Structure 1
């Protein structure tokens, strides 16, 4: 199964550009407010606070572009940002399906995160984190369905393997 929201990149670019313009206009209005107009008085900080909160919101939402591919024998996850200024490290992970132990989707107030638990070569558990805030509910549901299928298959294989080692 393939899942991607890359086709929404122009919309995300527009939103980021709009917030950037609002921020620049807020800075200009703040400078004009404190140097010439004095309309807001001591409340001039609001001209900087609102655009800053919008930038903080976009930052907390995380990387907007998420791609998932479960075709074949490997799971591919890609999570990237469209703005280099706010860019957290772009994530690109590929690992065999049998390494997936479980996953968890956390819904915060303003963000959604996907935590994927996989086994390493030394049987340690590694947690991979992805931002899925920009996925719609149908896409999140499809992602959960696909991951559930892989986790269920892995549990059955591990259970069969354990049964075979006990009887041997």
Structure 2
């Protein structure tokens, strides 16, 4: 199964540009209020504060672009920002049989996917990989969960068969 929200990059770019324009307009309004108008008093700080809070919220939600591919024997995860210098791109590829479990954490402002996989070096250790999925729709998250459940179920059946034969 393939899942990607790359097609929404223009929407995310528009929202980010709009927030930046609101910050500039708010800053100009704040300066104008303090130097010329004096109509709003101390509330004029909201001209700057609200757009900055929107920007912080937009960035706190995490990386905007999430791509998942489970076709074939390997699973691919990609997670990146629309602004390349903000954070490093996460790119993971590993065989399906290494997936042990997953968890989707749904907080108020963000959603994260935690995938637990078998470690290559330490056979009794597990590695937990984190991905930002805040910008996926509910249907996309449901499809992602379905695909991961299917992989985990196949892994458990293969382990059961391997133990009964061995």
Where on the TM-score scale, by shorter chain, does this alignment land: which range? over 0.9
- SS of 1:68's partner is strand
CA-to-aligned-CA distance 1:95-118 (integer Å, 9 cap, x gap):
111110000111111211111111
Normalized against structure 2, the TM-score is what? 0.93
**Is 1:147 the equivalent of 2:148?**
yes
Paired with 1:21 and 1:106, the residues of 2 have a C-alpha distance of 32
Paired with 1:151 and 1:84, the residues of 2 have a C-alpha distance of 33
Q: Which residue of 2 aligns with 1:133?
A: 134
Q: Which residue of 2 aligns with 1:51?
A: 51
**Is 1:101 the equivalent of 2:94?**
no
Per-residue deviation, 1:35: 2.1
Q: Which residue of 2 aligns with 1:36?
A: 36
Mean CA deviation greater in 32-41 or 140-149: 32-41
Alignment of 1:1-168 (within 5 A): 1-84=1-84, 87-121=86-120, 122-123=122-123, 124-165=125-166
CA-to-aligned-CA distance 1:44-96 (integer Å, 9 cap, x gap):
221121011101110121111111000111100001111246x2221111111
- SS of 1:127's partner is strand
Mean CA deviation greater in 39-48 or 133-142: 39-48
Provide the aligned C-alpha RMSD in A: 1.3
Paired with 1:125 and 1:66, the residues of 2 have a C-alpha distance of 23
Paired with 1:163 and 1:26, the residues of 2 have a C-alpha distance of 68
Structure 2: 5+ residue stretches without partners = none
Normalized against structure 1, the TM-score is what? 0.92
Per-residue deviation, 1:133: 1.1
- SS of 1:92's partner is strand
Per-residue deviation, 1:140: 0.8
Paired with 1:39 and 1:83, the residues of 2 have a C-alpha distance of 37
Paired with 1:126 and 1:30, the residues of 2 have a C-alpha distance of 49
